[in-house]
Chain A
């Protein structure tokens, strides 16, 4: 599993909520890093085959780390920075963008 390397030990702790679970992390971390450090690997279910997926590239390219952040679907967890109180849910299938 992943181990956190504290690059900035002085950074304040923030708490996000993933699928109802409170996860403590540090300010400045990406959502993907915070979830991986907390042992969460299942970020989304694919739209067509409903298969489990998690982060792959961690640099904004692969779109495999999609989650819903504060109600907004299809956010790339690797490109979003944590904020205290942020609510993160798995992206289950395609986003409900339509009418």
Chain B
């Protein structure tokens, strides 16, 4: 089977890029490995989040802001095309601090982030009294927090469904259970072997989450992407009370309260541990004491595709061929910029200047 472009990966990054490439008119084939994959895109929290991204990397911070700015139109576009509403809202977001020391650290981080963005990152540090006007029911341990009007949230499962449905609606082709076992290049043509047949295209995108590392190696590229587990708790549905998302607590469009987050390096184990969940629940209870009355109805663990510096990877192979490796752990936040900016550049055979510093060269020690 032949196509103009093949995207390996049907998760949040792959689907956004496949959708964006098809939108540019390329005959695009999206490959999904199947349910044997670790599927980070099924485990997201759902923030479209700016205020914690790129403390040490202005380029990533700007890329994130650009995506958050594109999100409203992107969300409307997917809804119009597919009928799937993504529940995107941008009421701003809050990061609460549970001690004076946390508040001081946060104040410094936010100031640095804003200065390095030339003022493009907008935020306010709010004392406790000001927070009470924004969010009801905060516990006594909350001393203050940072608010940014740039933050928002969306339903990540509707996003994934919307991207797939949008891609198909535009005429994109999907192959399921298509695990790629070999990649070869003959001249300007990539030839892929999968469990279900041979495929070829002059343009190749590898956006396979935790499957990216071995696939990139087939192109002679080193992509150090390893799993970092996060666990999430979800409560029964409650009447709407929370008008904006917090870093670790958000109320969904249906009323459920999602509670995160955690970080564990446990290899390819996407299970859960009550010890970690107890810590997550305790922090949520310190923020909103009334959550003690809420029943937890679901919990899960999911594996983030993580790099050593926590930043995304966007790179092309050293042989100059027309391939791109794309990976990040904020596939929801970056979906809009992936579909609207990265994909059009890839269609032209290049990467956007915005992400020139996010190649794999930064990991090579000379």
Interface residues, chain A, with chain B CB atoms under 8 Å away = 47-48, 63, 74, 93-99
Contact = CB atoms under 8 A, between A and B. Distances in A.
Contact of A95 (B137, B238, B291): B238
Given A47-B237, A47-B254, A97 B293 contact: yes
B273 interface: no
Interface residues of B, number: 20
A70 to B, nearest CB: 14
Contacts of B279: none
A95 B291 CA distance: 12
B171 interface: no
Interface string B202-241: 0000000000000000000000000000000001111111
Contacts of A48: 254-255
A63 B237 CA distance: 11
Give the interface centre of A47, A74, A96, A97 by most chain B CB atoms within 10 Å.
A97
Contact of A97 (B136, B238, B254, B297): B238
Contacts of B238: 94-98
Interface in B221-276: 235-242, 254-255, 257
Contacts of A93: 239
Interface of B: 136-137, 235-242, 254-255, 257, 288, 290-291, 293-295, 297
Contacts of B237: 47, 94-95
B297 A94 contact: no
Given A47-B254, A47-B255, A48-B254, A95 B239 contact: yes
Contacts of A63: 236, 297
Contacts, number: 45
A74 B241 contact: no
Contacts of A99: 136-137, 241, 288, 290
Contacts of B257: 97
A98 B254 contact: no
A53 B293 CA distance: 23
A47 B238 CA distance: 8
A88 to B, nearest CB: 18
A98 B297 contact: no
Nearest to B294: A97
B229 to A, nearest CB: 26
A94 B239 CA distance: 5
Nearest to B253: A48
Give the interface centre of B235, B255, B291 by most chain A CB atoms within 10 Å.
B255
B236 A98 contact: no
Nearest to A76: B295
A63 B236 CA distance: 10
Contacts of A96: 238-239
Contacts of B241: 97-99
B137 A94 contact: no
10 cross-chain pairs, A with B, having the tightest CB-CB distances, nearest first? A99-B137, A98-B241, A97-B238, A94-B237, A94-B255, A99-B136, A47-B237, A94-B239, A97-B294, A74-B236
Given A48-B254, A93-B239, A97-B238, A74 B295 contact: yes
Contacts of B293: 97
B136 A98 contact: yes
B340 to A, nearest CB: 30
Contacts of B136: 98-99
Contact of B290 (A47, A74, A94, A98): A98
Nearest to B297: A63
30 contacts: A48-B254, A63-B297, A74-B236, A74-B295, A93-B239, A94-B236, A94-B237, A94-B239, A94-B240, A95-B236, A95-B237, A95-B238, A95-B239, A96-B239, A97-B236, A97-B238, A97-B239, A97-B241, A97-B257, A97-B290, A97-B293, A98-B136, A98-B137, A98-B238, A98-B239, A99-B136, A99-B137, A99-B241, A99-B288, A99-B290
